[in-house]
Amino acid sequence: MHALSGGIEAQKSWLRSQIETTDSFFLIACDLAGNPLGTYAIYEIDQEKRTGEIGRALLLGNPLQNLEIIYLVHEFAFFNLGLEVIYTDVFEGNTAAIGVNRQVGGIEIERTHNAEFDMENIRFRISKGNYLEKREKIKQLVDRFGKRE
């Protein structure tokens, strides 16, 4: 992981400020026994444009659990929040996250240099239409392999 800026107090302050926002959701995923499996956020939601960003992911489950979390977050964003487009940013070396974004229909739209971390940032655009083309395959994987656990 890259280093965090601002220190722990700045991070706590930022978390407290999120309680008052109306354009974001911070989600905690748990298994059926209530054990936390990770976090995800949907933020910068623009209801007028029907867009938002997904990120702040920390996935601790096994690959199947993580895939199910990714599936559920996208389902929530597109079908509960009514978004038509999701944007997400990934650092160039994060091959797992790049693969996941492509797996859910993400198209790379931009590369920029992040000076704070001295890394290339890749921006993906995931339209609801592109996601719908991938949705059934993801759901089938979750359903098929989930029965084995």
CATH number at residue 29: 3.40.630.30
Residue 2 lies in a domain: no
pLDDT confidence of 1, banded at 50, 70, 90? Answer: very low
Residue 3 lies in a domain: no
Question: What value does the mean pLDDT take over residues 68-96?
Answer: 96
Q: Provide the domain count of the chain.
A: 1
Residue 27 lies in a domain: yes
Residue 1 lies in a domain: no
pLDDT confidence of 146, banded at 50, 70, 90? Answer: confident
Residue 65 lies in a domain: yes
Quick one: tokens of 115? 């000076």
Residue 35 lies in a domain: yes
Question: What value does the mean pLDDT take over residues 121-128?
Answer: 98
Q: The whole model's pTM is what?
A: 0.84
Residue 73 lies in a domain: yes
CB atoms within 10 A of CB 81: 14
Strand, helix or coil at 128? Answer: helix
Sign of CA pseudo-dihedral 82, 85, 88, 93: positive
Query: What is the reported pLDDT for 8?
Result: 81
Residue 106 belongs to domain spanning: 8-146
